[in-house]
Amino acid sequence: MSPTIPSTMDRPHFIGIGGAGMSGIAKILAQRGAKVAGSDAKDSETAEALRALGVAVRIGHDARHLAADATCVVVSSAIRAENPELAAAAERGIPVVHRSDALAALMDGTRPIAVAGTHGKTTTTSMLAVSLTALGLDPSYAIGGDLDAPGSNAHHGGGEIFVAEADESDRSFHKYAPEVAIILNVELDHHANYASMDEIYDSFETFVGRIRPGGTLVISADQPGAVELTSRVRDIGGLNIVTVGESEGADLRITKINQRGLTSEVTVLLDGRMLTFTVSVPGRHYAHNAVAALAAGIALGTPARNLASALAKYTGVRRRLQLKGEAAGVQVIDSYAHHPTEMTADLEAIKGAVGGSSRPEVGGGSRVLVVFQPHLFSRTRELGVEMGQALALADASVVLDIYPAREDPIPGITSALIIDAATAAGADVTTEHDKDAIPDVIAGMAKPGDLVLTMGAGDVTDLGPLILSRLESQN
């Protein structure tokens, strides 16, 4: 596929260019030859990676950062109307482009795979990107997280396939027209934009209706919301539906998942034959993600056995049960989980890894300790009780204050909602309002053989290296 740049995006300016979704699009445009610029609230490794591609990244938001020759301004739903660069664009008549429209433009002329669902999008997109790359297909991809290898969230490839996450949070996935779509699960989340499951179903139905004629929908045969959605879209003409999962009626059926420490061995029934392959991350939910990726690759014509072997090349995504290191016999793992379903899945996976570990110091006396940072006031208001119940799976938890991200505080909504629910569920849970105190708190709790899980979608991820350093210093 020859490099192309939409005519209005040859000199784009990104507001919030350091974000996972925004930086990926900026990278692809830069790799295609666009003169890309942008700003972000703080400097980061992502900003440095963009600068290495020739992108002009400025720190802080200021109208003066918007170049005179900018052809458009790219924003995400997180950018507020009062942003000075956005206001300057309006004053100067510079077109404002939503991130999803920019991504949709980049997918023109390709064979897109769009990965949707309430959970698991980043992992599944990454699995496809890694396996298709390993097969020499050189796909383009845009992922909401950095791969362990090659260490990037985006790439402009020379092949015809484009793999991208399809975000339902703000309905922006309605902008895409994929040849193959994956829907991993359908649950109520993003409460600022969806008031009910009916609204969620309507939104996902619209997404399915965007699949190209003759295209394929890969969807879970096990998750209740996905099963309901399948029943609603069965009659869409020209749509091939492939169900995947452990249910008897699944078109691509998982017959066995064996967890072996921090990996899993997965067996599927495909065209009457058993196919077994390795997934290099633990947990049943990651095995399901891998099988969905397998089904999508098959739908694009990739040989199943080749793709299954290539999936073993996937080594993980940063912040998705990412091992940050070990000190004083304690492993520290980082998890992006922030919805109760994700929290439960990751905790079950880690508990299974402890039980099946080959590490001699990990045994029946080993514990899983969690540092959890709730993400968004609205999510905590709606799902705080379920978050607390999920923490009951840990041996002990410390809960931080709510990370607000793009939201203003909601009166009466604090981490206490989670603490109370966790306590009622029998969890050993405490609260800590001072994030800087966490390394000392964990150093006082952890024993050799324990696993510490930093969990949440905010800046709790920064604590992993600090915890390791504190553990090392007391050893």
Alpha helices in 330-415 (DSSP H): 340-355, 377-391
Which tokens sit at 453?
Answer: 């899980």
End-to-end CA separation in angstroms for the chain: 54
Give phi and psi for 173, each to the nearest 5. -70, -5
Residue 363 marked as a ligand binder: no
Instruction: Report which of 372, 49, 148 is spatially closest to residue 36, judged by C-alpha positions.
Output: 49
Tell me the DSSP string of 344-359: HHHHHHHHHHHHT---
Q: Which two tokens stand for residue 393?
A: 């799976």
b/e burial code for range 290-313 (CB count within 10 A of at least 16 → b)? bbbbbbbbbbbebebeebbbbbbe
Annotated binding residue 431:
no
122 is in an annotated binding site: yes
Residue whose C-alpha is closest to residue 22's, from 12, 14, 31: 14
Q: Judging by DSSP bridges, how do beta strands 216-220 and 154-155 pair with one another? A: unpaired
Please state the φ and ψ torsions of residue 196, each to the nearest 5 degrees.
-160, 165
Q: Annotated binding residue at 272?
A: no
* Helix, strand, coil percentages, rounded to 5, for the chain: 35, 25, 40
Q: What H or E segment, with its residue span, contains residue 325?
A: strand 320-327
Bond prior to 150 in cis (omega within 30° of 0): yes
- C-alpha to C-alpha distance for 103 and 123, rounded to whole angstroms: 19
Q: Which backbone phi and psi does 392 adopt, to 5 degrees?
A: -65, -15
Q: Is 18 annotated as a binding residue?
A: no
Which residue is associated with the tokens 């290099």? 280
Catalytic residue ranges: 121-122, 165
From the list 320, 416, 335, the residue with the least C-alpha distance to 377 is: 416
Burial 42-76 (b: 16+ CB within 10 A, else e): eebebbebbeeeebebbeebeeebbeeebbbbbbb
Q: Cβ distance 238 to 213 under 8 Å? A: yes
Sequence letter at residue 350:
I
Is 119 a known ligand-binding residue?
yes
456 is in an annotated binding site: no
CB-count exposure of residue 136 (10 Å: 0-12, 13-18, 19+)? exposed
Taking alpha carbons only, the member of 49, 176, 181, 185 closest to residue 128 is 181
- Which residues make up each annotated binding site for ATP? 117-123
- Which residues make up each annotated binding site? 117-123
